[in-house]
């Protein structure tokens, strides 16, 4: 298991879902945690659409950064360290107009000061619509 301490999806949603931030505004909900992955869903609706009625690429990036950032925090001692995204990219592979997308976040590298995550996003039919990579810097508390 890559997580610093055992934690449930309910605890993750309580800790990160009830705050006034972009993840909660877009209704990102954590749905599953495994030994080495974290999953979350996001609705595809007016909040996440671009002008053509498709899922906005920026909303996909918000889902990716939310998943990867929370995953990094779960891998460190949060009393000693903060985790901040320093680079994110996304390849938008398939248009999504409605429903939900599910992001699956898994580590590429978990180092002492840098974490790299791969986030694959799928539509409700199980087809990958986005592939993203997030690099997170682990910094001592109070240095952000």
Q: For position 52, what pLDDT does the model report? A: 96
User: Which domain does 80 fall in, by range?
Assistant: 9-140
pLDDT band at 37; cut points 50, 70, 90: very high
Is residue 2 one of the residues assigned to a domain? no
Task: Identify the CATH number of the domain in which residue 75 sits.
Answer: 3.10.129.10
Instruction: Tell me, yes or no, if the pTM score tops 0.75.
Output: yes
Is residue 14 one of the residues assigned to a domain? yes
Which residues are CB-neighbours of 54 under 8 A, at least 6 positions away? 95, 96, 97
SS3 57: helix
- Active site residue ranges: 65
Is residue 73 one of the residues assigned to a domain? yes
Residue with tokens 């999504």: 96
Listed in sequence order, the DSSP H helices in 26-135 are: 57-74
Listed in sequence order, the DSSP H helices in 75-141 are: none
pLDDT band at 9; cut points 50, 70, 90: very high
Is residue 74 one of the residues assigned to a domain? yes
Residue with tokens 């690429």: 57
- The domain total for the chain is 1
């Amino acid at each position: 298991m890559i997580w610093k301490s055992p934690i449930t999806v309910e605890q993750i949603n309580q800790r990160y879902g009830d705050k006034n931030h972009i993840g909660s505004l877009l209704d990102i909900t954590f749905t599953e945690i495994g030994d080495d992955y974290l999953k979350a869903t996001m609705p595809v609706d007016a909040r996440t659409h671009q002008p053509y009625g498709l899922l906005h690429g920026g909303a996909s990036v918000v889902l990716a950064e939310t998943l990867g950032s929370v995953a990094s925090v779960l891998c460190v001692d949060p009393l000693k360290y903060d985790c901040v995204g320093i680079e994110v990219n996304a390849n938008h592979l398939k248009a999504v107009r409605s429903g939900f997308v599910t992001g699956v976040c898994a580590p590429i590298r978990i180092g002492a000061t840098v974490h790299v995550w791969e986030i694959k996003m799928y539509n409700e039919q199980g087809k990958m619509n986005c592939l993203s990579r997030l690099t997170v810097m682990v910094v001592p508390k109070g240095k952000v």
